[in-house]
Amino acid sequence: MSTDPHIWLEQIDDEKALDWVRARNDLTVSKFTQNDRFRGFQERIRSILDSDDRIPMFETCGDSLYNFWQDKDHPKGLWRRTTLEEYSKTRPDWEVVLDLDALAKSEDENWVWADASMCRPECTKALVRLSRGGGDAIVIREFDLRTKDFVSDGFFVPEAKTHVTWAGPDRVLIGSDFGEGTLTDSGYPMTMREWDRGGLLENAREYYRGQSSDVYVYSRADPFTDFRDYYVGRATDFFNDEFFVYRNNELIKLDKPDSAIATPHRGQLFLLLKHDWDRRGERFKAGSLLVGQLDDILAGTGDYQVLFAPTEHSVLISHTGTKNSIILNISENVCTKTFVATKGDNDDWNLEQVQKSNSFLNESGFAYESQESDRTLMLSESFLEPSSLSLSGPNESPRVLKKTRSFFENEALETTQHWAESKDGTKIPYYQISQRDATGIRPTLLYGYGGFSVSLLPAYTPVAGNTWLNRGGTYVIANIRGGGEFGPDWHHQALKENRNRAYEDFIAVAEDLIHRGITEPKHLGIQGGSNGGLLMGNMYVQRPDLFGAVVCQVPLLDMSRYHLLLAGASWMAEYGDPEKPEEWEYLKNFSAYQNVRADRTYPTILITTSTRDDRVHPGHARKMVAKLEEMGHKVHYYENIEGGHAGAADNKQRAFMQALVWEFLWETLERS
């Protein structure tokens, strides 16, 4: 690995680096934002993001439904609450709990909401997490839900990448930056401590310590054992962890495969397998969800039942416990349906689908009252059908609580699913959303991610509907390997030395679109962010002949140094370790920063990032732009000074960033 002349751009807040950023921002703003089409996009996107017709998703605590809401009058947002009866009304009456705009103004801080965790079952206190500018590092402050004010002498944690959870009304479990030897190499907590009300944070009792090479450690307390049990996890890498029950000052390690995800629930233990597992002469298949009695499993006397076993194209996306049942979201050919599992008289589990729906309507169910009842909330949506939120229970049929209005005309549009054949013969599904009667070549945007077992499922697309589909563009989502669309093996097939398979899959989808006559290279744009930004970088350098425009957002691009920057070390289980010669041998082949060439012709590219992204370092994007400029290639760059890994901190910034992308795509692909 040679000396990098652009490494100075990794100094995030260095004034010279920021001047370099501002100069390129100005060029991009001048190029793409000074016209009516951009202004129309920005105005329409902002109106969608600020609309009162969006579904206000909520968390239930006690009798209240809590929601965080941003709109044009409250760009930083309101934390508010109401009742279920009131929520069901067309225009519910919300009680404001915390006005973040007012707080930011009064404290002269650029607060961005992270989230809040409420102390159950009392629901009188909360731990509010606030970020300066939108990064992952947060400040934690205790909040009184009765007085609607911060507790003056309550729990307070300075800015850090902190993990904290309630262990009763007067105790929290915390992992944070306590100084030397308390953070992992990835910058996350390495220790867990008990912190009692009134005590000093630095004196909190440490009850678990991991290793610096771990990704992070975490813990939570079980309210159903009156907080006697703590569950402790030690993530040895991004996909493997050891799991313990800390009971009566004793740490009991759970016997499980390191890759399996353990979830205790009301005395039961659920185990989601990522690899096949042989146990006591029985083989359980990867992707299966097992259930057993926690105490029996810990004692070594318990067996597991199979609650769900995958098939070739049917996989479990997620599961949530209620008081007496388990909600399962099961995907069949990349579209999820919701089932509820309940125990019968013979202790067998019975699965029943919540409601029948059309093939491309994607459903996601979750518990309504955080395990306090058996009611199920379900969010349903498709690429063209607005989101709908319904509530059901054991003795109540599903009823719609809220439904998003349609933000674009969809009568002339259709969704179809197609399959491309990758280089190794694997069939790769992709969704195509387009005008129903469209013929001939048209501008097409192909989106992909392909990593960390993330599944790209059907979701309502109001912004793309207004800025792309209704203007005649075709929108395509590629379900490439590296994702979780077909279970653990779909992800495992593109790990480390097999990363090329994700890129071959994406290329196969692009070539299939061209073969089918949907588009041609000069009218084909591609888009991806984060791990998808790495995908874009590799498409840019590997197949520049195949695309007319590339949108590369908050990307990883320099794989020789990614593990040294911010949270990068936590991803080595996905990509590999560049300091191991045998792993750098394959890593160097998908490190776009090392593979770009001065003597090649590349498509026009827009690279975006955020100064405040403390997950994927903005240096990746900055250095790539500098190198492309040095080589004389056409590149556009925009770095939002705020926003964290999401790229924007409020709806105004989101509207600007999204409008910039759509304007770049139309400007580039229409002129090709």
Residues designated as active site: 530, 645
Q: Which two tokens stand for residue 41?
A: 């996009």
Spatial distance between the Cα atoms of 485 and 429, rounded to a whole number of angstroms: 9
Residues facing 95 on adjacent strands: 81
Spatial distance between the Cα atoms of 466 and 474, rounded to a whole number of angstroms: 12
Query: What is the DSSP annotation of 332-385?
Result: ESS-EEEEEEEE-TTS-EEEEES----TT-EEEEEESSTTSS--EEEEEE-SSS
Cis status, amide bond into 121, omega within 30 of 0: yes
CB 174 within 8 A of CB 196: no
Distances (CA, A) of 99 to 52, 53, 79, 150: 17, 21, 6, 12
Q: Helix 531-542 crosses helix 500-515 at what angle (to 10 degrees)? A: 60
Question: Per residue in 480-504, is it b (16+ CB within 10 Å) or e — as a string?
Answer: bbbbbbbbbbbbbbbbeeebbbbbb
The 3-state DSSP class for residue 177 equals coil
CB 192 within 8 A of CB 205: no
CB 195 within 8 A of CB 149: no
Q: Which helix (H) or strand (E) holds 289?
A: strand 289-293
Give phi and psi for 423, each to the nearest 5: -55, -35
The 3-state DSSP class for residue 641 equals coil
Spatial distance between the Cα atoms of 509 and 504, rounded to a whole number of angstroms: 9
Residues in the chain: 672
